[in-house]
Amino acid sequence: MRIILNSSGKHYVFTDSLNLSESEMHSLLSQGRLFELILKKKEWYNSNTDQIPSFLKFLAGNERINVEIIMKGNQTMKISIVTENSRIVELKRGSLDNPSARAKLSEETAKQILNSDSPVSDFERAYRNGEIDYQGVGFINALKVQLVKVFSGIYYFISNMLG
């Protein structure tokens, strides 16, 4: 099964089965739309990495992340992200072999962040509220994630106090 979005914005769905329910079709199209939004935000993210605090760039700037987005209807969209020097160098559907981290969030949370006027703040809020589960894979990566959580908590606490 494949979903193709052409330049005019029309979706074409190719499948081995001709019997797709309306909800299956809606699900496929919404997954295609969400991935399109994610691709559009990649360049915005890469052009704003200067806003990332230095300690976060050092601790989390070179990662291989498998992301699971739980779609409506409990289907899962899997995407992979590779970062180097805090910039996204690879973003695609599917999972990576040997990821350094795993993230899990809902379609609703992903859409809120992607459509936000301040996606960094909304990401941080969602992460703090437990709407995004982010885990390091293996001892060293799990330790790095914990350090990022501690240092980012201190950083944002002090930033909020100073205004």
Q: What is the pLDDT of residue 163?
A: 62
For the chain, the domain total comes to: 1
**Residue scoring higher pLDDT (83 or 3):** 83
According to DSSP, residue 4 is labeled E
Label the pairing between strands 101-106 and 64-70: parallel
Asked whether residue 47 carries a pLDDT value surpassing 70, the answer given is yes
Q: Which residues, 6 or more positions from 55, have their beta carbon under 8 angstroms from its beta carbon?
A: 151, 155
Asked whether residue 54 carries a pLDDT value surpassing 80, the answer given is no
According to DSSP, residue 49 is labeled G
Domain that holds residue 141: 2-162
State the average pLDDT over residues 33-44. 80
State the average pLDDT over residues 99-115. 91
The pTM is what? 0.71
Q: What is the pLDDT of residue 88?
A: 92
Label the pairing between strands 2-5 and 132-136: unpaired
CB 29 within 8 A of CB 13: yes
Q: How far apart are CA 161 and CA 61, in angstroms?
A: 26
Mean pLDDT score across all residues of the chain: 78
Q: Out of 3-7, 34-38, 116-120, 130-134, which region has the weakest mean confidence (pLDDT)? A: 3-7
